[in-house]
Amino acid sequence: SWSFCEGAIICYDNLGLERIESAREGLLADQVNDDSHVSINMDFLRAQPSEDEDLPGGDFQVLEYHTSRSGSIGFTFKNGSTEYCCTRELQNDPEFKSAHSKSCDVDRVVIENQQDGDKLLQVTSIVFEDGKTSPKHRIFRKFNVIESGTHYVMFAFCDPNVPAVLASGCIEWRNYYGFLPAALHGIILFHFVMTLAYLGIGLVWFIMCAMYWRDILGLQGCIAGVLGVGMFEQLLWHSYYKDFNATGYSTVGLMIFSVLAQTLKRDVSRLLVLVVSMGYGVVRRSLGTTTYKVFLLGVVFFIFSAAHGVDQARDHSTEPSVIKKIILAFPIALINVTIALWIFFSMTRTMARLTERKQLVKLSLYRRFFIVLAVLIVLSVGWHVLEIWAFSPGVLETYFWDKAWIFTKDAFWEVFFFLMLLSVMIIWRPSANNMRYAYNKVEDEDEQRAATTDVELNVPLIEKGHNGAAAAEPSSDAASLAYKFTLDDDIGQESKMD
């Protein structure tokens, strides 16, 4: 079985290897001390069918090569299929003959234009003698990295006399700076900078809250909580990757703890934007029964997102099934759509109420917030388009092999959530005029006494404002129901305000 690790040290414990097995990792060359290397320290045992049966002699090959030499290994047919082992049939194939100037060695891996002393493609043969015994062969090889890029280790079992072996031991991939793969090079510094960023704006926020502590809004207290969670999460990820770089192994407990902290931050960030769009502390004194709906939505999102995050963060010896991906990813996508619609309709409703009441100061805040959200949405859509291109076959390995963490470890989304939180902080920052933006009970009661029309609850697609004017109608049935759902919550809260 595989050890639980992320690729810097891959260990086998009596794992059966057969046909073609390979592993890869990005490494950066060290031209000064030659500290970057790939080392193989493994034992191979050929299984013996029975005590009375003699095993024929045979061998298999272990290859270590740079990505620039990957095209020299195996033969790819015009239909896209690849054959790595040389056989009589392959030697006589017209397509192979026309592409190769010289024939390959039968029962060996196909290597084109191999040259003696090639440091970017090195082959080691493991030979088993014939007889009744099945000796264990040990190999210890260290390959210095002389050129940066993706490096591969391949086990090729082309000899029919050695179709498979049991392998024990480890393959170690080490960069000059530590065990952290080149694909994650820079992520330690990234999380360190993000920790300092959260700490910096957190100190500024604390000072401003201390200056105007008598007039602090509930919303501003929620922002302080999100800041604390964000700083703690970044500190955990920094510690996790620093430990991984030093040891070469993934600390499971620290990784899970970091994922849970990340999920909590993303959860509360979404809910913060949602309650702000509902007008909490500005148009509403409290959310009332809507609080339970928001809390339930947050709990469900946290459960599915945490499960998905842990599943994505840990290493797999096999590719997860499509069903498993759907079970974990689909609920998260559905909840995100629900939150987005809820934010949109709540924001529209809040701005409409502020317009009716002619509360222009509060309305200006929400208009700025609406513009910020629109800009962030455009950025997120643009990033999704870039991700589709980046995750196309061969793109990450070719262009971003040493910066893959930007895409695979959600670096953009960490910055995205930080900017979103920073925007909310700037718009709703503590100041001497805090009470101008807070919910005003007297103002709300005066507005309710002046209302002359009622809201028609029986018409789901049209809502009448307090002055009798009809609001805009959502275009789809799903949007209409979401709009009515938000409207009913708003009406229910107005009726319960004292």
Per DSSP, the residues of 407-451 read: HHT-HHHHHHHHHHHHHHHHHT---TTHHHHS--HHHHHHHHHH-
Confidence bin at 461 (pLDDT 50/70/90): very low
Q: Flag the least confident range among 22-26, 176-180, 207-211, 363-367.
A: 22-26
Please tell me which residue, 402 or 480, carries the higher pLDDT value. Answer: 402
Confidence bin at 415 (pLDDT 50/70/90): very high
Radius of gyration in angstroms for the set of CA atoms belonging to the chain, rounded to a whole number: 31
Mean pLDDT of 411-424: 90
Contact 431, 477 (CB under 8 A): no
The structure tokens listed for 421 are 């939180």
| Torsion over CA: 101, 107, 110, 113 (sign) | negative
Mean pLDDT of 106-126: 84
Q: What is the pLDDT of residues 60-107, one digit of tens each?
A: 889 999 888 888 888 888 888 888 898 888 888 888 888 776 668 888
Sequential DSSP letters for 274-295: HHHHTTBTTTBS--TTHHHHHH
Closest CA to 100 of 78, 123, 72: 72
Confidence bin at 437 (pLDDT 50/70/90): low
Contact 461, 479 (CB under 8 A): no
pTM of the model: 0.74
Supply the pLDDT for residue 198.
95
In this structure, the number of other CB atoms found within 10 A of the CB of residue 255 comes to 22
Confidence bin at 435 (pLDDT 50/70/90): low
Confidence bin at 241 (pLDDT 50/70/90): very high
Q: Using CA atoms, how far apart are residues 12 and 171, in angstroms rounded to an integer?
A: 9
Per-residue CA distances from 229 to 126, 179, 421 (Å):
53, 29, 12
Q: Taking 90 as the threshold, does the pLDDT of residue 282 lie above it?
A: no
Supply the pLDDT for residue 433.
64
Supply the pLDDT for residue 53.
66
Cβ neighbours of residue 178 under 8 Å, at least 6 residues apart?
A: 245, 246
Closest CA to 85 of 45, 67, 58, 57: 58
Bridge partner residues of 125 (DSSP): 61
Closest CA to 437 of 373, 341, 378, 363: 363
Mean pLDDT of 180-186: 86
Supply the pLDDT for residue 217.
74
Confidence bin at 2 (pLDDT 50/70/90): very low
Confidence bin at 128 (pLDDT 50/70/90): confident
**Amino acid at residue number 22:** S
Q: What is the 3-state secondary structure (H, E, C) of 95-138?
A: HHHHHCCCCCCCCCECECCCCCCCCCEEEEEEEECCECCCCEEE
Q: Taking 90 as the threshold, does the pLDDT of residue 234 lie above it?
A: yes
Cβ neighbours of residue 352 under 8 Å, at least 6 residues apart?
A: 465, 471
Please tell me which residue, 358 or 448, carries the higher pLDDT value. Answer: 358
Q: Flag the least confident range among 10-19, 290-299, 484-493.
A: 484-493
Pairing of strands 37-45, 164-174: antiparallel
Q: Using CA atoms, how far apart are residues 38 and 248, in angstroms rounded to an integer?
A: 13
* Sheet of 149-156, strand order: 20-27, 149-156, 58-66, 121-128
The structure tokens listed for 273 are 């934007």
Q: Taking 80 as the threshold, does the pLDDT of residue 200 lie above it?
A: yes
Contact 56, 127 (CB under 8 A): no
The structure tokens listed for 244 are 């991984």
Average pLDDT, the chain: 78
Helix, coil or strand: residue 404 = coil
Longest Cα separation, the chain: 101
Mean pLDDT of 434-459: 45
